Amino acid sequence: MKIAVLPGDGIGTEIVAEAIRVLDALDLSFEMETALVGGAAYEAHGHPLPEATLKLAKEADAVLFGAVGDWKYDKLDRPLRPEQAILGLRKNLGLFANFRPAICYEQLVGASSLKPELIAGLDILIIRELTGDIYFGQPRGRRTAVDGHFPGADEAFDTMRYSRPEVERIARVAFEAARKRSKRVTSVDKANVLETFQFWKDIVTEVHKDYPDIELDHMYVDNAAMQLVKAPKKFDVIVTGNMFGDILSDEAAMLTGSIGMLPSASLNSSNQGLYEPSHGSAPDIAGKGVANPLATILSAAMMLRFSLNQAEAADRIESAVKHVLASGLRTGDIWSEGTKRVGTREMGDAVVAAI
Amino acid sequence: MKIAVLPGDGIGTEIVAEAIRVLDALDLSFEMETALVGGAAYEAHGHPLPEATLKLAKEADAVLFGAVGDWKYDKLDRPLRPEQAILGLRKNLGLFANFRPAICYEQLVGASSLKPELIAGLDILIIRELTGDIYFGQPRGRRTAVDGHFPGADEAFDTMRYSRPEVERIARVAFEAARKRSKRVTSVDKANVLETFQFWKDIVTEVHKDYPDIELDHMYVDNAAMQLVKAPKKFDVIVTGNMFGDILSDEAAMLTGSIGMLPSASLNSSNQGLYEPSHGSAPDIAGKGVANPLATILSAAMMLRFSLNQAEAADRIESAVKHVLASGLRTGDIWSEGTKRVGTREMGDAVVAAI
Ligand SMILES: CC(C)[C@H](C(=O)O)[C@@H](O)C(=O)O
Ligand SMILES: CC(C)[C@H](C(=O)O)[C@@H](O)C(=O)O
């Protein structure tokens, strides 16, 4: 089993280092190989996703990814910016199924913006399609408008699109996932306005016929953004497209108040996957040793479960994290009165000790 | 001055009736003419936006709109569904500037999902572009994929697009609005992924040169969805495209906990406008006399201010609403222990009395 380790930028190196220590503590045997990605790769090789990094990722069974990005790259041409690395990995590895759990840990209820009774016990799984939609649709670019409100003016455009097999496979992923949970799926669309999402809705409804044990409902994206605020616990599995999933998964993550705890997995059809925390590279606290490594550590657990067939080891990590939380250790992002504030390294130490 | 009154479906008739009583109580002279729209128009004339209704709306100085939609029309072909009426009115009247305030009234802080300290005093203005973007972009439809992951498969597609003058004019609207407020604008885009929104960001930045007194920042839409949950009061004016605005304005409205209080205005370049509550047609409570008419009454106030040049009358309505809230009257949606529950009509009576 081979893991490609791509720490990236900002706090990426610090948090990935702790996840690796946790993996090491499990005494399993994997090969791990590290490579540069994002701004770090751009600095060294002039490209955020160098050939060698992509090759390593493709050949590995799983990619453990930190985070990429920094304000200082904002002025670069788009193809050279750090976040292109993540888009390039998704596309080249065919990572179409993004799992983004939004879980509110019992001890961290107070960190949420929401009233405790609305958020305590939250456990949603957002399944976001990750290689289609307006993220990758062609054509896109700039041109002279030929119709619309201002024919003759300069305009920019992008293409939203989904093909039948793309929707079918992500719908199946969602129904299968729901089978292992509370058997409810909410498909989020904008079928009242968009052809793409009327098509999406029709296909999800068709695929649902193969899953009579699962309850399916459909919700417009604007309503979903509202219902997540109003009563997040009414959701179980949410499945949606790439663009809507980007927005809703971040909204749901922030509702928990502890985005520093939330892992993610992006899988292709052979269960090869990329695993990364749901938060970003946080350049403001990079190098200070204060970042929360738990989302990355929990991403490593997802990696063991989904790509490396080591469910038991995954359970061990997850139990260790719960144990550490229960013992009262907190990094700054989740700290509250009466708990003990620790740094990145100490948090990693504690998880290793609990394993 | 002529007002086209389009009550629509569901609770639309009840809430618009109260807004009209409030307008009548002001003793101003307008001509009002009512017409069918949405499902009601479809039942009577086979189309959600009949020619006569559109003609009336076009000729009026302002449109007072209730709400449209009902589950029972879900099976109709898209062009016949109630919500096409609202899209048709926006397009035909050129209502490109949508003002969606998200205000949390002092007395209603408790109705929010958010902790009181995060929401008390919230006063955000979301300015959503309303006639461009992927809502109206051509081409759109179904076809056989020629590239992408599954060439040869059926696919559906839509076109996202913005032209330079479209972005310029909505940016100016936002900067002008900010001048009357706290002089800060956040432009929300997805420039890291979409050509359309890199263009948007570039143009907003250019137009900003004409408004050196206004502070401008840029935020990605996924981050905006998070920051609205984390610290909504950090925002003042948000300007964004049609699709992102649809999602974020609903999220922000729900954060207040009292969407039954939130009006909206959609204006064209000659200040002709459509005014409607931010909430929907609520078919489940239609005809029961329990709907909250305040969002519609406050929409009538916006109408007086923006389209009918009657700022003073608008102030009178807004003061009357505050007075009624202070007196403890509440419809069911905003009711809490210790306040008095009233119906739609009684709430209207109270506002009329306060005027
Ligand atoms: C960095 C960006 C391109 C990316 C996305 O939009 O998908 C990020 O927001 C995410 O959700 O992983
Ligand atoms: C009904 C629908 C077409 C509409 C929209 O998406 O614009 C609604 O959600 C709104 O925000 O007014």
Nearest to B160 among A160, A223, A228 (CB): A160
Residues B338 and B210 in one domain: no
* Whole-angstrom distance, CA of residue A183 vs CA of residue A206: 17
- A173: tokens are 């992923």
Is A107 domain-assigned? no
What CATH number is attached to the domain comprising B200? 3.40.50
Is A106 domain-assigned? no
Distances (CA, A) of A229 to A184, A232, A234, A262, B159: 19, 6, 11, 18, 29
Rounded distance from Cα A197 to ligand 1 centre (Å): 20
* Whole-angstrom distance, CA of residue A162 vs CA of residue B197: 20
- B113: tokens are 């999902």
Contact (Cβ atoms closer than 8 angstroms) between residue B154 and residue B144 = yes
Per-residue exposure over A52-85, b if at least 16 CB sit within 10 Å of its own CB, e if not: ebbebbeebbbbbbbbbbbeebeeeeeeebbbbb
- Banded pLDDT at B292 (limits 50, 70, 90): very high
Is A284 domain-assigned? yes
Q: How far apart are the first and last CA of chain B?
A: 21
CA angle B330, B333, B335 (to 5 degrees): 40
For the cut 90, the answer to whether the pLDDT of residue B56 exceeds it is yes
Residue nearest to atom 7 of ligand 1 (CA): A246
Residues A148 and A221 in one domain: yes
Is B348 domain-assigned? yes
Sequence-ordered list of residues with C-beta below 8 angstroms from that of B38, at least 6 positions apart, any chain: B8, B9, B12, B48, B67, B68, B69, B82, B83, B85, B86, B281
At B344 the pLDDT is 98
For the cut 90, the answer to whether the pLDDT of residue B169 exceeds it is yes
Residues A134 and A237 in one domain: yes
DSSP B247-292: HHHHHHHHHHT-GGG-EEEEE-TTS-EEEEESS---GGGTTTT-S-
At B148 the pLDDT is 84
Domain boundary among A226, A256, A286: A256
**Domain carrying residue B84:** 1-99+262-355
Backbone angles phi, psi at B18, to 5 degrees: -70, -40
Is B177 domain-assigned? yes
Is B91 domain-assigned? yes
The pairing of beta strand A123-129 with beta strand B123-129: unpaired
Distances (CA, A) of A221 to A195, A244, B108, B173, B195: 14, 7, 26, 26, 22
Chain A positions touching B222 (Cβ under 8 A) are 246-247, 249-250
Residues A248 and A277 in one domain: no
Give the residue carrying structure tokens 């946080």. Answer: A282
Q: At what angle do helices B195-208 and B164-179 cross, to 10 degrees?
A: 50
Residues A16 and A70 in one domain: yes
Count of alpha carbons within 13 angstroms of residue B344, beta-carbon side: 24
pLDDT above 70 coverage of chain B, percent: 100
Within an 8 Å CB–CB cutoff, is residue A154 touching chain B? yes
Residues B221 and B316 in one domain: no
Is B146 domain-assigned? no
For the cut 90, the answer to whether the pLDDT of residue B149 exceeds it is no
Rounded distance from Cα B157 to ligand 2 centre (Å): 19
Residues B231 and B274 in one domain: no
Mean pLDDT of B222-234: 98
Q: Considering chain B, what is the average pLDDT of its residues? A: 97
The interface residues of chain A toward chain B in range 276-335, judged by CB-CB distance below 8 A, are none
Within an 8 Å CB–CB cutoff, is residue B180 touching chain A? no
Residues A136 and A229 in one domain: yes
* Whole-angstrom distance, CA of residue A202 vs CA of residue A208: 10
The catalytic residues of B are: 135, 190, 222, 246, 250
- A112: tokens are 């949420």
User: Sheet harboring A154-163: ordered strands across?
Assistant: A141-144, A154-163, B154-163, B141-144
Contact (Cβ atoms closer than 8 angstroms) between residue B82 and residue B53 = no
The pairing of beta strand B2-8 with beta strand B31-34: parallel
- B189: tokens are 């885009």
Residues B121 and B218 in one domain: yes
Domain boundary among B205, B235, B256: B256
At A74 the pLDDT is 85
Give the residue from chain B lying closest to A220, CA to CA: B247
Strands (E) across chain B are located at 2-8, 31-34, 62-67, 97-103, 123-129, 141-144, 154-163, 184-189, 215-220, 237-240, 263-267, 273-277, 329-330, 340-341
Contact (Cβ atoms closer than 8 angstroms) between residue B204 and residue B259 = no
Domain boundary among B208, B235, B256: B256
Structural domains in chain B (count)? 2
Taking alpha carbons only, the member of A30, A58, A54, A25 closest to residue A41 is A54
Give the residue carrying structure tokens 């209704």. Answer: B53
* Whole-angstrom distance, CA of residue B134 vs CA of residue B121: 34
Contact (Cβ atoms closer than 8 angstroms) between residue A249 and residue B276 = no
What's chain B's length in residues?
355
What CATH number is attached to the domain comprising A40? 3.40.718.10
Per-residue exposure over B235-260, b if at least 16 CB sit within 10 Å of its own CB, e if not: bbbbbbbbbbbbbbbbbbbbbbbbbb
Residue nearest to atom 3 of ligand 2 (CA): B83
Residues A174 and A242 in one domain: yes
Please write the tens of the pLDDT for every residue from B197-220. Answer: 999 999 999 999 999 999 999 999
- A147: tokens are 């119709």
DSSP A168-236: HHHHHHHHHHHHTTTSEEEEEE-TTT-HHHHHHHHHHHHHHTT-TTSEEEEEEHHHHHHHHHH-GGG-S
Within an 8 Å CB–CB cutoff, is residue A80 touching chain B? no
Give the residue carrying structure tokens 């994290």. Answer: A321
Kindly determine whether residue B229 and residue A222, on different chains, have CB atoms separated by under 8 Å.
no
- Banded pLDDT at B107 (limits 50, 70, 90): very high
Within an 8 Å CB–CB cutoff, is residue B134 touching chain A? yes
Residues B66 and B117 in one domain: no
Nearest to A134 among B136, B156, B160 (CB): B160
Within an 8 Å CB–CB cutoff, is residue A75 touching chain B? no
Kindly determine whether residue B156 and residue A254, on different chains, have CB atoms separated by under 8 Å.
no
Please write the tens of the pLDDT for every residue from B298-330. Answer: 999 999 999 999 999 999 999 999 999 999 999
- A152: tokens are 């003759």
Taking alpha carbons only, the member of A175, A181, A202, A183 closest to residue A191 is A202
At A71 the pLDDT is 87
At B36 the pLDDT is 98
The reply to whether the predicted model has a pTM over 0.95 is yes
- Banded pLDDT at B146 (limits 50, 70, 90): confident
Sequence-ordered list of residues with C-beta below 8 angstroms from that of B15, at least 6 positions apart, any chain: B66, B67, B277, B291, B292, B293, B295, B296, B344
For the cut 90, the answer to whether the pLDDT of residue B193 exceeds it is yes
- B262: tokens are 């939130």
Ligand 1: residues within 6 Å at CB? A 83, 86-87, 246; B 192-193, 222
- B320: tokens are 């009357």
Pocket lining: B83 vs ligand 2, CB cutoff 6 Å: yes
Residues A128 and A93 in one domain: no
Is A125 domain-assigned? yes
* Helix H or strand E segment including A163: strand A154-163
Strands (E) across A48-153 are located at 62-67, 97-103, 123-129, 141-144
Sequence-ordered list of residues with C-beta below 8 angstroms from that of B202, at least 6 positions apart, any chain: none
* Whole-angstrom distance, CA of residue A116 vs CA of residue A256: 10
Mean pLDDT of B61-87: 94
**Per-residue tens of pLDDT for chain A, all 355 residues:** 999 999 999 999 999 999 999 999 999 989 999 999 999 999 999 999 999 999 999 999 999 999 999 989 988 998 999 999 999 999 999 999 999 999 999 999 999 999 999 999 999 999 999 999 999 999 999 999 988 889 999 999 999 999 999 999 999 999 999 999 999 999 999 999 999 999 999 999 999 999 999 999 999 999 999 999 999 999 999 999 999 999 999 999 999 999 999 999 999 999 999 999 999 999 999 999 999 999 999 999 999 999 999 999 999 999 999 999 999 999 999 999 999 999 999 999 999 999 9
Sequence-ordered list of residues with C-beta below 8 angstroms from that of A256, at least 6 positions apart, any chain: A102, A103, A104, A108, A111, A112, A119, A122, A262
* Helix H or strand E segment including B318: helix B311-326
For the cut 90, the answer to whether the pLDDT of residue B267 exceeds it is yes
At B74 the pLDDT is 85
